Chains A and B, each alone.
Chain A
Amino acid sequence: AQSVAQPEDQVNVAEGNPLTVKCTYSVSGNPYLFWYVQYPNRGLQFLLKYITGDNLVKGSYGFEAEFNKSQTSFHLKKPSALVSDSALYFCAVTPRGGGGNKLTFGTGTQLKVEL
């Protein structure tokens, strides 16, 4: 069975500083990996995904994520945080092939960016 761990319930960072939101996963075979963001009282919005190829994936709003197969991690990063980045972030995984329709989400990390 696949699983996702987001070890930090909350991450606090000052505006202008770099941010990292951590994600590790467990899945059979090679995964598809995703990051989503949720603003208050809204549905989830897609940020970026890893399918294959370059381990550094660039996405919306200046976010990027680095796929590390040996560490089974897919950490979300941004070089310079904005107050408007404050939101709930979810990492998700789905295996290729069989079971590929089922996306498993982590429990979410609340990002708070302060002035």
Chain B
Amino acid sequence: NAGVTQTPKFQVLKTGQSMTLQCAQDMNHNSMYWYRQDPGMGLRLIYYSASEGTTDKGEVPNGYNVSRLNKREFSLRLESAAPSQTSVYFCASRYTPGGEQYFGPGTRLTVT
């Protein structure tokens, strides 16, 4: 049982480049989430998917898109990266609204 996995672990992009962060969970969870973590700001929700086939904006969605490919996989795409998107990105999943979220190990992204 791998839990929540994320790829890649590290990435450096130039301004304007695009990339997709991949996330997968093997716990049969319904809901999946993408967060970014910045010093002094805690975790901020970018997008979430309450169930397969649905996605919704979180607190900071601008500059990002998501795809819930199936129940297991939830990807985050940066179409045109900006230095302000330099951050650590975490994917998470949970089974029910009252249940705890399980987090992946994170992707450290630097945009130069």
Contact = CB atoms under 8 A, between A and B. Distances in A.
Contacts of A43: 4, 90, 103-106
B41 A101 contact: no
A44 B31 contact: no
Interface stretch (B13-21, B63-71, B79-87, B93-101): B93-101
Contacts of B56: 101
Main secondary structure of the interface of B (DSSP, over half): strand
Contacts, number: 56
B42 A103 contact: no
A32 B98 contact: yes
B58 interface: yes
Nearest to A4: B42
A107 B102 contact: no
B48 A102 contact: yes
A25 interface: no
Contacts of A102: 45, 48, 58
A46 B97 contact: no
27 contacts: A32-B98, A34-B100, A42-B105, A42-B106, A43-B90, A44-B43, A44-B90, A44-B103, A46-B101, A46-B102, A90-B42, A90-B43, A94-B98, A96-B97, A96-B98, A100-B98, A101-B48, A102-B45, A103-B101, A104-B45, A105-B35, A105-B44, A106-B42, A107-B40, A107-B41, A107-B42, A108-B42
